[in-house]
C-alpha cells in the first residue's frame, strides 16, 4: 500500500497538550495528506532536549499528550507511521555521520537556529546539541528519504539545510539521498485570547482538550473592540480577536450576520462570544471525546507508538545500511 506513494516526513516537539494554533498550523494538513502519501510523523523528543535538558521530569507525559492529540485529531496509524524519535536509534547514528560532513557555518546561518536563539534569549543553550539540532532535523527527514516536507511558505528557508546536506553527501559518496522538497500547505495563523499569535508560551491558547466550561471562560476573556463601550455602540470586527476566530469556526451566513450586527450595534460582545464558544465546542467535541477514550487506555497509545517505531526502524535500517556501505563503514565478513 505504501511503496507506490511518495514519502513525507514531519514532526513536533513534545511540549505538552496541543492548541488550536498547532492544529490549524500543521495537524489539519497532516490528516489530509496521510491519504495520499506515505507519511512519517515523529514526536521529536531529542529535539526537546536541545533546549529543555535541565528538567525532563514531564517528558514522557508530554509525549503522551502529543500522541493523544494527534490520534484524536485524525492521524490514523493504519494510514501513517507515528513514532517517538528516540526509539529510532538509526537516527542517532545517521546524525553522527552527517555531522561529519556538515560545516559549522551552515549550522550557524540556519534560519531555524537563528529563530531559536532569538526566542530563547537568556536561556542557557550554549551547548553542542543545540548548535547541531538543525543537522538532527535534516537527519529526521533524510533517514526516510522523504521526497516532501509539509511546510508553510515562510518555512521554506528552514528546509534548505536538509537539501544542502543531502547534496553534499551525494557529491562525496554517490547518489543516496533525494533532496527533500517543500510541500506547500495552507496554514491558518490563529490569534490567541489576547490578540497575539496563539502560543503556549504566551498563555493565550485554547487547547484541543479544553472542556466546554474552559472554552466558555477563555472565550469570555477575549479582547474585543476597545472603542466599544456600550452594547449598542457600533463595533469594528476587524480589531476583535473573537471575530478572527469566528472566521474559522462560524458558517459564512452566520459570520456575515454577526459582522453586520456588530457594525450596527445590534449584538453585544457577550452574545457574540457565546456564539463563538458554542461553535468552538461543536468543532472540538468529537476530538475531545476520542481523546478521553484514548486517555482511558494509555497502553493502547503506547502500543501504537511502539508499532510505529518498529515500522520506522525497518525503513531507517535500510537507509543506514546503504550509508555505511557508501562511507566504507560496513565491516568485512
Both 183 and 309 in a single domain? yes
The answer to whether residues 142 and 43 belong to one domain is yes
Residue with the larger pLDDT of the pair 244 and 319:
319
98 found inside a domain: yes
- Catalogue the E-assigned strands of 106-254: 148-151, 181-184
Q: What are the pLDDT digits (tens) for 274-321? A: 999 999 999 999 999 999 999 999 999 999 999 999 999 999 999 999
Please tell me the distance from the alpha carbon of residue 293 to that of residue 43, in angstroms, as a whole number. 21
What is the grid cell recorded at 49?
Answer: 532536549
Determine the number of helices (DSSP H) and then strands (DSSP E) in the chain.
14, 5
Q: Is the pLDDT of residue 63 over 50?
A: yes
Contacts of 325 (CB under 8 A, 6+ apart): none
Report the C-alpha gap between 294 and 285 in whole angstroms: 14
Q: Are residues 169 and 31 in the same domain?
A: yes
Do 319 and 270 belong together in one domain? no
In a domain, 78, yes or no: yes
The answer on 83 and 14 residing in a single domain is yes
Task: State whether 48 and 160 are in the same domain.
Answer: yes
What pLDDT digit, counting tens, does each position of 90-134 carry? 999 999 999 999 999 999 888 777 777 777 776 777 788 988 989
Indicate if 175 and 75 belong to the same structural domain: yes
Which pLDDT does position 311 carry in this prediction? 98
Give the total number of structural domains in the chain. 2
CA-closest candidate to residue 162, choices 185, 186, 143, 175: 143
pLDDT tens for each residue of 130-187: 889 899 999 999 999 999 999 877 778 889 999 999 999 999 999 999 999 999 877 7
Residue in the structure block whose three cell numbers are 455602540 = 233
Is 196 inside a domain boundary?
no
Total length of the chain: 333
Residue 164 burial (10 A CB sphere; 0-12, 13-18, 19+)? middle
Q: Is the pTM of this model over 0.85?
A: yes
Please tell me the distance from the alpha carbon of residue 109 to that of residue 10, in angstroms, as a whole number. Answer: 22
Which structural domain range is residue 242 located in?
Answer: 212-291
Q: Which residues contact 170 (CB under 8 A, 6 or more apart)?
A: 176, 177
pLDDT band at 333 (very low <50, low <70, confident <90, very high): low
Would 270 be classed as within a structural domain? yes
CATH number of residue 263's parent domain:
1.10.240.10
Amino acid at each position: 500500500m505504501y511503496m507506490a506513494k511518495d514519502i513525507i516526513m514531519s514532526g513536533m516537539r513534545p511540549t505538552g497538550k496541543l492548541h488550536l494554533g498547532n492544529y490549524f498550523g500543521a495537524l489539519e494538513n497532516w490528516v489530509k495528506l496521510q491519504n495520499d502519501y506515505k507519511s512519517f510523523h515523529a514526536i521529536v523528543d531529542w529535539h526537546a532536549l536541545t533546549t529543555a535538558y535541565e528538567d525532563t521530569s514531564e517528558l514522557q507525559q508530554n509525549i503522551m499528550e502529543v500522541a493523544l492529540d494527534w490520534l484524536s485529531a485524525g492521524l490514523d496509524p493504519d494510514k501513517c507511521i507515528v513514532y517517538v524519535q528516540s526509539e529510532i536509534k538509526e537516527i542517532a547514528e545517521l546524525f553522527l555521520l552527517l555531522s561529519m560532513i556538515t560545516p559549522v557555518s551552515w549550522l550557524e546561518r540556519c534560519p531555524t537556529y537563528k529563530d531559536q536563539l532569538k526566542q530563547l534569549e537568556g536561556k542557557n543553550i550554549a551547548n553542542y546539541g543545540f548548535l547541531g539540532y538543525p543537522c538532527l532535523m535534516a537527519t529526521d527527514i533524510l533517514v526516510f528519504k522523504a521526497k516532501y516536507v509539509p511546510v508553510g511558505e515562510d518555512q521554506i528557508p528552514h528546509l534548505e539545510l536538509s537539501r544542502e546536506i543531502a547534496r553534499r553527501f551525494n557529491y562525496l559518496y554517490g547518489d543516496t539521498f533525494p533532496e527533500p522538497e517543500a510541500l506547500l500547505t495552507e496554514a491558518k495563523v490563529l490569534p490567541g485570547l489576547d490578540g497575539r499569535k496563539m502560543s503556549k508560551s504566551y498563555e493565550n491558547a485554547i487547547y484541543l482538550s479544553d472542556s466546554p466550561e474552559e472554552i466558555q471562560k477563555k472565550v469570555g476573556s477575549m479582547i474585543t473592540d476597545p472603542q466599544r463601550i456600550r452594547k449598542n455602540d457600533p463595533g469594528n470586527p476587524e480589531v476583535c480577536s473573537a471575530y478572527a476566530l469566528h472566521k474559522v469556526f462560524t458558517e459564512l451566513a452566520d459570520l456575515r450576520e454577526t459582522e453586520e450586527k456588530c457594525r450596527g450595534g445590534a449584538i453585544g460582545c457577550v452574545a457574540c462570544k457565546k456564539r463563538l464558544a458554542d461553535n468552538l465546542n461543536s468543532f472540538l467535541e468529537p476530538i475531545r471525546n476520542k481523546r478521553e477514550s484514548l486517555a482511558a487506555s494509555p497502553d493502547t497509545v503506547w502500543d501504537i507508538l511502539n508499532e510505529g517505531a518498529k515500522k520506522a526502524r525497518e525503513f531507517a535500517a535500510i537507509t543506514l545500511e546503504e550509508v555505511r556501505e557508501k562511507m566504507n563503514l560496513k565491516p568485512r565478513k
